[in-house]
Amino acid sequence: MGLYSSILIKPDMPDGRYLSERALLYVPFFAMIVFASAIILLLPYDTVYVRDQAYLQMFLVTVVVCTAVFLLGTLHNVLLWMRGKGLVSTPEKRLLCFAGRALRLLFSRMLARALGVFVRDALYLSRLKGRSWSRWFMHIMILGGFVLMFVLDLVVTLSLDVLQYQPMIEESGWAKLWLRDVGFEVAGLMMLIGLSIAAIRRFILKPSIVRTELPDAASIIFLLAVVAGGFVLEGIGIAGTIPGHQENVEYSFLGYAVSVMLPASSGEFYDAAWLVHGIMSALLIAYIPFSKMFHMIASPIAIELDGIMAGKEALS
């Protein structure tokens, strides 16, 4: 019995075609995973704050594994969508067709509309704002913080490990102070505010529209632990005067506030705390496709589809 033994795949389809159709998707997909892993493992990481190389290696391996799990989990979920109505060949082939159509959108007159829809409805959450300012604020803090952190991560990694951009490396460089310190603090603070409101709503206020089951609680607690852990790590770094945390520490304002409560000796645990925070962040990424957080990927697609359909109707 083959992998696709369900009624969805017509049994008279030659096996060879399954293979070729699947190869078209899986070969580039696994190549992408290998490529991403190679980049993650091969970057120099000269400027990371962790001092113990073994910790760094452990973290990098976890990131590689978690990234692969995230991508595979996402692919698995998306392939399940593809098994829906009207399937005539393999879900893999269908996914490639959809991806092709999505790419074509980039060069069509719908692009401006798609971008507008993305900014207005997926990022700014305009519909939620119209319904409840407080719920919108909560969500925009979490989403905004997440997006900002993602963008900063990309910018900082690129500047440090690829471009070796000095203002990002030097203790008093503008980019170090405003992007690496203030930028991450703001992103983390936004998430912390949003998640705290969400936790209070969910666990204390319990309004009737909120329903808490294990996946809801797990996602919030996991996220809160990662975000709060980041500030604790920062505090340990400052209290223990770890390199990179010695000058202009007040730019990392929340981490600085935490450091005031910590003894200088806490610096001994900096590397361990760094590893725990890093691994938790990586696990969080791996957990996304298997949790309610997968809406981060599916929801913008739903919003885009809705916007594009409405646009097509308007045009016709």
Site of interaction with other proteins (CB under 8 A): 6-8, 73, 76-77, 80-87, 94, 98, 121, 125, 127-128, 131, 135, 139, 208-211, 216, 290, 292, 294-295, 297-299, 301-303, 305-307, 309
CA distance 178 to 164: 17
Quote the least distance from Cβ 230 to other proteins, whole Å. 24
The distance of closest approach from Cβ of residue 200 to other proteins in the complex, given in angstroms and rounded to an integer, is: 16
Q: How far is the CB of 16 from other proteins (least distance, A)?
A: 23
Here the tokens at position 252 are: 């990392």
Question: What ranges make up the beta strands (E) of the chain?
Answer: none
Output the smallest distance, CB 183 to other proteins, in A.
27
Closer Cβ to other proteins, 104 or 127, answer by number: 127
- Kindly state the smallest distance separating residue 211's Cβ from other proteins, in Å: 6
Give the residue with the Cβ less far from other proteins, 177 or 288.
Answer: 288
Count other C-beta atoms under 10 Å from residue 103's C-beta: 10
Comparison of 208 and 265: residue with beta carbon closer to other proteins = 208
Of the two residues 97 and 154, which places its CB atom closer to other proteins in the complex?
97
> Percentage helix, strand, coil, to 5, in the chain?
80, 0, 20
Q: How far apart are CA 289 and CA 287, in angstroms?
A: 6
Which residue carries 């505010």 as its tokens? 193
> Which helix H or strand E contains 141, and what residues bound it?
helix 133-157
Report helix, strand or coil for 144: helix
Closer to other proteins by CB, 104 or 295: give it: 295
Q: Which is nearer to other proteins, 8 or 163 (CB)?
A: 8
Burial annotation 271-310 (CB, 10 A radius, 16+ → b, else e):
bebbbbbbbbbbebbbbbbebebeeeeeeeeebbeebbee
Least distance in angstroms from the C-beta of 201 to other proteins:
11
